[in-house]
Structure 1
Amino acid sequence: MNTYRTRAELKTEVKRLLQGNWKKAIALYLIPLILLLITNGSSNSHSQSDVQYNLTNFDISHIFWFATSLGIISFVLSIVFFLINVSATFRGLDWIEDPQLDFEPFKSNFTYFRSPDWWKLIFVYVLTSIFTFLWTLLLIIPGIIKGIAYSQTYFVYKDLNDRGLADNYSLTDYITKSRQLMVGNKGRYFVLQLSFIGWWILGGITFGIGLIWIYPYYKLTMANFFHDLVEQNPNYA
């Protein structure tokens, strides 16, 4: 039986990592945070629909909304924003796995612009989001459940590529592996997300200023969640 870390343990480990390293963490996630606020603000200013950028996952409705209502330029910008976000996210996982890791936070935001496999991330992004969107068309709750099941897809992609196993898998396999890892863990993930509601409220009350510290804490905790999953399921590949 797997013994996963508790929610408190996951957060405590991240807090320990951040002690004395807040400057590095803020520098790593500042650009993704600014882009998040810009795109979310732009979406709200152009539409009163329910299409919003999702802090929990990358939302395909957001990127399609930009593509159709604002044109191809905004669509391309959304892809650029995604690559910046995922580059920082992956560096965060590297940091979780190696707390002594020496890296340049700013340059880490552009890691996957230099990767020859950047296009794979885009296709995984689109496939994952389409599957979630289609489930949501049926019913909201199944869509949320599937979104949680697919939430580790990008981390799975990175982990398997780092292990040199990428050639053994198709793009949809990363989604399948995420779904398999999340069996029995969707409730844990959901509660972990809920535990940040108070922090998001605080970020709103401070007009976004508090997010400078909250966002790195949140992103690294999500990376630590995946790290815990892999530690307990080392042979998932």
Structure 2
Amino acid sequence: MTHQYLSRSEVKAQAKAQLHEPGVFKNMVLANLIPWLIQVVFYFLMMGLLIGMYKSMLAINGSGADAQTAILHISQSRSAEVQKQSLIQALISLWFTQGVAITALDVYRGKLQQFNPLKAVFRLFNSRYFFGVLLLAIVSRLLIQLGSYIIVPGILLAYGWSQIYFVFYDGRERGPFGVFQALGVSWRLMRGFKLDLFVFQLSLLGWYILEGITFNLFNLLIDPYLQVAKAGFYENVRQYQADLQTQQ
């Protein structure tokens, strides 16, 4: 029997149901503690850079060509610093964030009722996953960056490869599984479901806005739901596609 493709509401309802299991939400919050601290630290570092840029611009007197050149130089310099900080944050938090993400996938699947939050956040720090996750991040970022120069292909690549870490995790659980295999499987998996993912993300927009207006301080309580819901989207598509292939 083919897996029924669940609606967005059904996926999110199942995510909430799994989080309501005894101890699950608390453990997900604790598992998110390290990624959250990294996010908050870098958020305030970036805010400091932006405030410093604003003050430097205010300190420039005049409105002539020299003043405009100075403002442009400050703006470019600070923007480069912000991009550098973003890259460093992404690299530092990569394994922690994805470790929690695949834990969220196991939670959605009902495989974890009780788990050790510390083990969850460090579960990718081993030879099976560590370097593969790093290569996935580098290769996908470079290819998406190249595609972004053409705008639309860059967006398509980002959505087509949006599930690479889940795919890599599932592949490595079964045996040897390479980075480019993960890219290929994710691309095939998302064929026909990119718009579904976009709409699914829109349905979570209110939560992201709430995180933004609270300066990321309450992400620790919000992220567990978002992580399990996003894992649910992957699992919903994966099961549906797998059942279709079985019938063919």
Q: Which amino acid aligns with 1:29?
A: N
Partners of 2:110 and 2:205 in 1: how far apart?
28
The answer to whether the aligner puts 1:196 opposite 2:217 as a matched pair is: no
The partner residue of 2:101 within 78, 86, 89 is 89
Shift of 1:99: 4.5
The partner residue of 1:80 within 92, 95, 108 is 92
Shift of 1:116: 4.4
- Report the equivalent of 1:156: 167
Q: Which amino acid aligns with 1:182?
A: M
Partners of 2:161 and 2:82 in 1: how far apart?
18
Partners of 1:78 and 1:202 in 2: how far apart?
21
Contact 2:104/2:231 (8 A) holds in 1: yes
Identity fraction in percent: 25
Partners of 1:119 and 1:62 in 2: how far apart?
27
- Report the equivalent of 1:212: 220
Write the mapping of 1:1-237 to structure 2, written as runs, cut at 5 A. Answer: 3-19=4-20, 20=22, 21-46=24-49, 65-66=84-85, 75=88, 78-139=90-151, 141-166=152-177, 170-234=178-242
Deviations 1:133-187 (A, max 9, x none): 1111122x33222111110011110011112242xxx321211111110011001
TM-score, length-scaled by structure 1: 0.79
Q: Which amino acid aligns with 1:5?
A: L
Q: Which amino acid aligns with 1:7?
A: R
TM-score, length-scaled by structure 2: 0.76
Q: Which amino acid aligns with 1:138?
A: I
Segments of 5+ residues of structure 2 without an aligned counterpart are: 54-74
Q: Which amino acid aligns with 1:156?
A: V
Deviations 1:192-217 (A, max 9, x none): 11111111222333343432222111
Deviations 1:73-117 (A, max 9, x none): x85x75332111111111111222234443101221111123344
Segments of 5+ residues of structure 1 without an aligned counterpart are: 51-60, 68-73
Which has the greater radius of gyration? Answer: 2
Partners of 1:123 and 1:203 in 2: how far apart?
29
The list of structure 1 runs, each at least 4 consecutive aligned residues, that deviate by more than 4 angstroms after superposition, is 47-50, 61-64
Contact 2:40/2:217 (8 A) holds in 1: no
Tell me which protein shows more helix as a share of its residues.
2
Structure with higher RCO (Cα < 8 A, 6+ apart): 2
